[in-house]
């Protein structure tokens, strides 16, 4: 069985109690689901609920932790409203995470906020970029050497349409299946990728393995159909949180979502050995080159 989807009551982003149990649910790959925690749009933001706002050349609309929004096309007024909406979402996500997971709060690094206005079902993407296939998050151009990827998602669909995900088996079971097919890590190749600026820093052995697992899983149509998985519908007006480098996930349908990413070195977890870096280090039987642990 995969880790549970744990439902958490309440409508407020602020004033949540610290919760060690829930933090450890996250660390086992679980998903925390807040069915009534809505990110509410202001009237001036309602016109932003249209897919054409995303620049067709960009994967998503995103806003760096410091700076203005990228990947959007709109009037100056719309872009100003969009910046405000994304900042407000970031602020609320930060507050909720800091309150609930105080053990992490000093160690979390704020990464971009994204707004995803595109309808999932009709979007056409290459198999590698296609989040409709089960995967763990791993960024080809941004090596993270084993840092955790913690994400907060809110479904802001105005027509009560849920965002439907498939959630897969535990990370370790997937890794045991695919690790034998992972090509060996080649430091010289990582060096070339860096010099050619294909990666923003040196791709570590950890990043190499994670990307290969990501690709092998997505490419394997039998695995996609037959691996253990369950379907979860995140209601309009809800929020959910997981370590997306660990929880196997695929989006099935939906439109209009906010997302906030945090990075964190795994040594600040309760159980670093449960992180993808901890699991892969144990399964490989050696320290991974360039890892942060
Ligand atoms: C993801 O795969 O990280 C995003 C899933 C979604 O778009 O709901
Ligand atoms: Fe993903």
CA of 157 to the centre of ligand 2 (A): 19
CB atoms within 10 A of CB 218: 21
Does the pLDDT of residue 267 top 70, yes or no? yes
| Residue 293: inside a domain | no
Does the pLDDT of residue 105 top 60, yes or no? yes
Give the burial class of 207: count Cβ atoms within 10 A of its Cβ; 0-12 exposed, 13-18 middle, 19 or more buried: buried
Q: What is the pLDDT of residue 256?
A: 98
Taking the C-alpha atoms of residue 112 and residue 67, their distance in angstroms, rounded to an integer, is 10
Taking the C-alpha atoms of residue 22 and residue 252, their distance in angstroms, rounded to an integer, is 26
Among 116, 155, 233, the mutation site with the greatest number of ligand 1 atoms within 8 A of its Cβ is: 116
CB atoms within 10 A of CB 177: 16
Ligand closest to 114 (CA) is 1
| Residue 49: inside a domain | yes
What is the number of the ligand 1 atom nearest to the C-alpha of 151?
Answer: 3
Q: Record the tokens describing residue 200, joined without a space.
A: 């923003």
Does the pLDDT of residue 253 top 90, yes or no? yes
Average of pLDDT values for 38-64?
A: 96
Q: Alpha helix locations (H) across the chain? A: 20-27, 76-100, 102-105, 171-178, 187-195, 205-219, 221-226, 276-284
Does the pLDDT of residue 1 top 60, yes or no? no
Taking the C-alpha atoms of residue 255 and residue 222, their distance in angstroms, rounded to an integer, is 27
Q: Record the tokens describing residue 242, joined without a space.
A: 């997981």
| Residue 75: inside a domain | yes
Does the pLDDT of residue 152 top 90, yes or no? yes
How many residues would you count in the chain? 293
Under the banding of pLDDT at 50, 70 and 90, the label for residue 284 is very high
Residue nearest to atom 2 of ligand 1 (CA): 131
| Residue 180: inside a domain | yes
Asked if 152 contacts 259 with a C-beta cutoff of 8 angstroms, the reply is yes
What is the number of the ligand 1 atom nearest to the C-alpha of 120?
Answer: 7
| Residue 126: inside a domain | yes
Does the pLDDT of residue 2 top 80, yes or no? no
Total tally of structural domains belonging to the chain: 1
Average of pLDDT values for 62-84?
A: 95
Q: What is the pLDDT of residue 205?
A: 97
For the question of whether the overall pTM of this predicted structure is more than 0.85, the answer is yes
Q: At what angle do helices 205-219 and 171-178 cross, to 10 degrees?
A: 90
Q: What is the pLDDT of residue 153?
A: 98
Taking the C-alpha atoms of residue 285 and residue 198, their distance in angstroms, rounded to an integer, is 29
| Residue 289: inside a domain | no
Among 33, 122, 249, 262, the mutation site with the greatest number of ligand 1 atoms within 8 A of its Cβ is: 249
CATH number at residue 195: 2.60.120
| Residue 14: inside a domain | yes
Kindly list the strands in the beta sheet with 5-7, ordered across the sheet, starting from the edge strand earlier in the chain.
5-7, 31-34, 239-243, 148-155, 257-264, 109-116, 61-63
What is the number of the ligand 1 atom nearest to the C-alpha of 249?
Answer: 2
CA of 69 to the centre of ligand 1 (A): 19
Domain that holds residue 183: 5-284
| Residue 291: inside a domain | no
**Three-state DSSP state, 157:** coil
Under the banding of pLDDT at 50, 70 and 90, the label for residue 67 is confident
């Amino acid at each position: 069985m995969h880790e549970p989807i744990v439902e958490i009551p309440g409508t407020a982003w602020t004033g949540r109690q610290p919760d060690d149990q829930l933090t450890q649910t996250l660390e086992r790959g679980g998903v925390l689901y807040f069915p009534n925690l809505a990110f509410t749009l202001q009237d001036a933001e309602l016109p932003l609920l249209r897919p054409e706002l995303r620049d067709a050349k960009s994967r998503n609309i995103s806003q760096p932790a410091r700076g203005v929004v990228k990947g959007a096309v709109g009037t100056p007024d719309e872009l100003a409203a969009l910046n405000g909406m994304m900042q407000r979402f970031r602020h609320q996500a930060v507050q909720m995470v800091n309150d609930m997971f105080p053990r992490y709060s000093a160690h979390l690094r704020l990464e971009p906020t994204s707004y995803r206005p595109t309808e999932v079902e009709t979007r056409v993407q290459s198999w590698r970029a296609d989040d409709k296939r089960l995967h763990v998050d791993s960024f080809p151009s941004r090596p993270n050497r084993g840092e955790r990827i913690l994400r907060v998602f809110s479904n802001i669909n105005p027509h009560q349409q849920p965002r439907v995900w498939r959630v897969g088996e535990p990370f370790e079971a997937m890794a045991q299946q695919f690790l034998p097919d992972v090509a060996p890590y080649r430091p010289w190749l990582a060096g070339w990728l860096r010099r050619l600026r294909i990666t923003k820093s040196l791709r570590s052995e950890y990043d190499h393995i994670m990307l290969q697992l990501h690709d092998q899983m997505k490419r394997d149509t039998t695995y996609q159909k037959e691996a253990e998985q369950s379907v979860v519908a995140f209601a309009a007006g809800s929020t959910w949180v997981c370590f997306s480098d660990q929880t196997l996930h695929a989006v099935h349908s939906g439109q209009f979502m906010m997302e906030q990413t945090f990075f964190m070195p795994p040594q600040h977890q309760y159980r670093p050995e449960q992180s993808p870096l901890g699991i892969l280090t144990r399964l490989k039987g050696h320290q991974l080159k360039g890892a942060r642990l």
